Amino acid sequence: MGLLSVARTLFLLTILEKNRPLSQEMTDSTITASLPAYDLIVIGGGVVGLACLRAATLKGWKCALVEAQPDLLTQASGGNSGIVCTGVDALPGTLERALIRDSISEFRLYCESHNIPIRPCGSLVCLFPWDVSCENADKDYVSQLNNVLQESHIAGDSDAKILQPDSNLLTTMENNVSPRLLGAVHIPGEMVVDSWVYSISLAAHAVENGAKIYTNFHVECVTRNEESDNGADEQVWVLKRRDDDDSSDVPLLLQSKAVVNATGSWSDLVEGMAGLKSQWTTKPRRGQYRVYNSNAKTRILHPLQPIPNQKTKGVFIFSTLHNQLVVGPTALDQTSRTDRSIDPVLARQLDDHIKRVIPHMDTESSHVGDFVGIRPGTEYRDYQIHLNPKKNWIAVAGIRSTGLTASLGIGNYVVRLLRAILKEAPSDVSGDAQTTQIPTLEQLAVDYLSHGDGCCAINGLGRCLVTHPLTRMGFEASASRAEVVKIK
């Protein structure tokens, strides 16, 4: 046994001795053989990690996911918008646009088969006077709308069209929007979904078909046994969790043939922990939102968005599936990977913005709450999905605000990469997968409000904490609309 192998053996002996006695003759191979073993471990329990777990599980591999927090969907996925876009703001030729298009091709079918409610309303990319430069204003707004239309057609939304400000169709579609609207591009392929319900369904579907999920598994160390006497098949990754967590029912160590790093804002740090050189640097970007109740004079049917630029899609105004209005997100870079504090100055600016777009909006009386989401950006505009075939490692990073939209496509893409490094799975179950539908929004709301624990019962997962503010606010608003039976 080489010096490196001896060192790894000593390391594994040290961290295992708390759990069981070990023979002095044990080697790397016998230690790793005693650990829970998988073909694939996904690190990160956000919507992207769960989509990768589900996709790989349905292809027949033995898969697990580890999440540092006690609950899934607590980081970037606990603060997104829930708008399913068509990729018009993703650059042509990028991996991001390709995976968005792949994802939305099956998004509606997935939601239908899992009982996930969606609003296939399309969106309006709007142009208002305050978005137009003073010079050559008429020419500027016409060209901007034409550019959006052209990009929509290139992205695959061939039914997109320009609506003029005096169009009866535009007035009929959104009669509560400011009459100062200069025009809009209708993108019919875009949808609104409840982000938490959709995302937790990915976890439920993966577990129902054989996957394992470990929460409270804060990865502290990642090592690779590469000096096996039995060939490449014995080369495995060993993941150790922080052992001061209150996780007595969670293994201290797990091993797998391959790893997917889907840790969002921590992706570059996890690369370094595994001894790999990160090809990007995480640059967190905060997006602040403000939420209001709506009425007949303020309700809108379509997400209203500005013309996107190279940095951001801009501040949206949209109606959730719970019929609450949301304005946001802002887009500000920050160094902290966790700071979600509310900026009162930005809150006032969001109030001003929605009042300008929806003139009858009373932001004070209708205000419900605020939240901040953190998007795991990088120095690159495109997704950073990289395969290291020598290490059986896949990094899924730089998944910015389009992560929910592209999640199914990302899962499909990761499966294609896995086929290059793992043996073909013994059975592909995707054509005959077990699928238990998610309860309706009304049933989930009653469950959430009745128990008072902030959770909902999800098949195969037990009671899951509702981590997304929009879902929580929607359920809480439904208390006045639904009779809740208190559980004794």
Express each pLDDT in 160-199 by its tens digit: 999 987 777 677 889 999 999 999 999 999 999 999 999 9
N residues, the chain: 488
Nearest to 73 by CA among 471, 474, 479: 471
Residue ranges of domains in the chain:
35-77+196-281+381-432, 121-193+282-377, 441-480
Is the pTM for the entire model greater than 0.85? Answer: yes
pLDDT(22) > 50: no
Q: What is the CATH number of domain 121-193+282-377?
A: 3.30.9.10
Q: Which CATH architecture has domain 35-77+196-281+381-432?
A: 3-Layer(bba) Sandwich (3.50)
Of 78-87, 134-143, 220-229, where does the model show the most confidence? 78-87
> What does the pLDDT average to over 56-80?
96
Of residues 56 and 483, the one with the higher pLDDT is 56
Q: How confident is the model at residue 431 (pLDDT cuts 50, 70, 90)?
A: confident
Q: What confidence tens digit (pLDDT) does each residue in 295-312 have?
A: 999 999 999 999 877 666
Q: Which stretch of 26-35, 253-262, 407-416 has the lowest confidence by average pLDDT? A: 26-35
CA distance 415 to 58: 10
Query: Bigger pLDDT: 152 or 292?
Result: 292
Say what the pLDDT of residue 165 is.
79
Integer Cα distance of 66 and 215 in angstroms: 6
Contacts (Cβ under 8 Å, ≥6 apart) of 137: 129
- Residue 482 has a pLDDT of 47
- Average pLDDT along the chain: 87
Per CATH, 35-77+196-281+381-432 and 121-193+282-377 having the same topology is answered: no
**Which residue from 305, 89, 294, 296 is spatially nearest to 192, judged by alpha carbons?**
305
pLDDT higher at 225 or 41:
41
Q: Which of 200-209, 312-321, 353-362, 401-410 has the lowest mean pLDDT?
A: 312-321
Phi-psi region at 241: left, alpha or beta (left = phi > 0; alpha = psi -120 to 50) = beta
Q: Which residues of 214-245 are buried (b: 16+ CB within 10 A; e: fewer)?
A: bbbbbbbebbbbbbbeeeeebbbbbbbbeeeb
What type of residue is 132? Answer: V
